[in-house]
Structure 1
């Protein structure tokens, strides 16, 4: 395999999926697109992720609405042809599938239709491989018909589709993260064998080496080791929560005034992760796009009274230690929470590269056999 495999990344975000392919060496990113929208109410450009993608991968994603953009428009923007596209990455927004969103039990978010729209790009370009990552409900939830439609469309185009749910902590991600991984191969089957980690990696394994940081501080040696400031009440609330895995439930009675309304004292099991501290010797809970506030989940440092820094959060999400995030501080956190962990995308890239190399060697073998037969005639 002398020519690098061309990769197009739809819904490219901060480049988590592209990262594993770009750093592998067998691939070249030839196109990417992201509308930079987190919640629809935030508006276009709210995530600032395209600048982050460009800084790390050297290509500026097109700011295009993939619900309406035609494949030909994206190809023309970057100047590639269908023959240039070997790998199509399409990680559509997952929010509309997650059962953690109460409204999804009744409503089918319009963004869910983006999953099946992947087949439109597949039909136009016929890439050899298609990869998708999403929440587990993509395959088993109330709105799984979107995946079923995609499966039907891709099968009709000649793809074999492999789909499976994994806990990504089994492969070295220091975070409990259940995700559906989908791989489609044109004219064949690829069921990627991800490499199990020797042991489950913990928060301690991932971030304990980083220097101490105060809330609101940026470390002079790493601009990504930065976290937001907080007011006196929030600091007092954090200080009242026990170190190394404590929760708001553990706030002593004489400090109950530090609780906020969502800390429902009548139902002590409600929202246990709000203002929760990470535990040193366990993997982190799932990092989400709302990780920019300690009030949104268990995102507080195990022993320091502050939110995890951008660098700490990115390491828990499987990003390389030299990755740079651009934009306002809240956007940096949002980019990380929305991402496909590069640790996992690197394994998927290896699986695709190995399969493509195997196909190339088979093709060379067939040509040699034909040549030998011709000589023997």
Structure 2
């Protein structure tokens, strides 16, 4: 029987898209980000899209929305992760996002889903008494089988290096994380490169779009940054610029060389963020064209299919892409759960 999915913190739908591709039936997506939920509704017209803060959603309300829930049931959850991100330089212990994963406890206790998938930034598992281990304690009390580790999406066919803390759990069978499929070792498929992912997309100038491809739109850049890009070779960065183009804040710093950097055609992309179309926020410049990535290129590097359309302004859609779970990565996790469901994993 097809596994049913409730996607908590669904965002624009990266996890849902991957699980659906694995063969699951997406019932509900839940998020409070209105712009992301518009994209979710557009791409999952058969699913319910609930616009709500999970801390204000009750089990009774969700039960009413669901009616009779087809089993087996999977809960997917990628709680907002910025408080634990290594890129967050303004951590705040009072940040309400820290406890959002705790809100999932109520729903797990009530519905006892057969399967769970959690994805978040590495860092959560380093907080000894934090939300991740509180969730582990819940799984132990409810007698779930589970496995977790830090995985890199690039090892599963995503054309982007993206390290994430991943947990999968099963109430009905032993389960383990999937083995990587891509890499440099014998027997593995070669890593997918930027060229393989986006090399086919039409050329663009900064601040333009190509209406023949959904969301193939780029941000404007200043004349000085355009000049900087002209001095940046494929795979290069600000270290390739003449002295007069180097920013004062960079003159005494040797780190953070990814900012204003170009991607390399022959390698996977660096981790995409919510600012993935801005050249000043990471290695997000096109390998050879003098511009940042388009929203479509960023989405493709997140392994979204080309017919997945993002709704909103260019900054809103870029944010949706940067926050998403890579589709192919979610698909691999979904297939692993289906394998466990079919009794093919021996633990």
Q: TM-score, normalised by structure 2?
A: 0.91
- Asked if 1:52 is matched to 2:60, the reply is no
Contact (CA 8 Å) 1:216, 1:230: kept in 2 or not? yes
1:209 aligns with 2:206: no
CA distance in 2, matches of 1:212, 1:60: 37
Q: Tell me if 1:248 matches 2:238.
A: yes
Structure 1 residue 246: deviation in Å? 1.2
User: Is the contact made by 2:214 and 2:306 (CA closer than 8 Å) also made in structure 1?
Assistant: no
Paired residues in the alignment total 337
CA offset digits 1:95-138 (Å, max 9, x no partner): 1111222233x736321211222221111111100101111112
Sort the Cα spacing of 1:102 and 1:84 in 2 relative to 1 into closer, same or farther, 3 A: same
In structure 1, stretches of 5+ residues that fail to align are 37-44, 360-377
Q: Using the alignment, how far apart are the partners of 2:27 and 2:327 within structure 1?
A: 18
Match of 1:8 in 2: 6
SS class of match (1:164)? strand
**Secondary structure, in 3 states, of the residue corresponding to 1:61?**
strand
Cα pair distance change 1:204/1:83, threshold 3 Å: closer
For residues 206 and 143 of structure 1, do their structure 2 counterparts lie closer, same or farther at Cα, with a shift above 3 Å needed? farther
Deviation at 1:230, TM superposition (A): 2.4
Alpha-carbon distance between aligned partners in 2 of 1:64 and 1:85, rounded to the nearest angstrom: 25
Aligned-pair CA distance for 1:341: 0.4
Q: Does 1:97 align with 2:87?
A: no
Q: 1:111 aligns with which of 84, 91, 97?
A: 97
Looking at structure 2, the residues matched to 82 and 52 of structure 1 have their Cα atoms a distance apart, in angstroms, of 24
Task: Kindly report which structure 2 residues correspond to 1:228-307, keeping only aligned pairs within 5 A, or say none.
Answer: 228-240=219-231, 242-253=232-243, 256=244, 258-262=245-249, 264-267=250-253, 269-307=254-292
Structure 1: distance between partners of 2:278 and 2:63:
38
Counterparts of 1:171 and 1:8, CA distance in 2: 23
Shift of 1:187: 4.2
Report the equivalent of 1:364.
none
Which of residues 140, 145, 152 in structure 1 aligns to 2:130? 145
Question: Which secondary structure state, in structure 1, belongs to the residue aligned with residue 62 of structure 2?
Answer: helix
Contact 1:167 1:179 in 2 (8 A): yes
3-state DSSP class of the match of 2:195? helix
3-state SS of 1:103 partner:
coil
Relative to 1, partners in 2 of residues 1:230 and 1:62: Cα closer, same or farther, differing over 3 Å?
Answer: same
Secondary structure at the aligned position of 2:22 is classed as coil
Report how far residue 34 of structure 1 moved.
0.4
CA distance in 1 between counterparts of 2:252 and 2:236 reads: 19
How far 1:292 sits from its partner (Å)? 3.1
Q: CA deviation at 1:165?
A: 0.9
Task: Output aligned runs, 1:1-377, within 5 Å.
Answer: 1=1, 4-25=2-23, 27-36=24-33, 45=34, 48-58=35-45, 59-76=47-64, 78-81=65-68, 84=71, 86-104=73-91, 107=93, 109-140=95-126, 142=127, 145-197=130-182, 198-240=189-231, 242-253=232-243, 256=244, 258-262=245-249, 264-267=250-253, 269-358=254-343
**TM-score, scaled to structure 1:** 0.84
Q: What displacement does 1:189 show?
A: 2.5
| SS across alignment from 1:89 | strand
8 A contact 2:173–2:341 mirrored in 1: no
Check conservation: 1:83, 1:125, Cα contact below 8 A: no
For 2:152 and 2:272, the matched residues in 1 are separated by 13
1:23 counterpart SS class: helix
Counterpart secondary structure, 2:164: strand
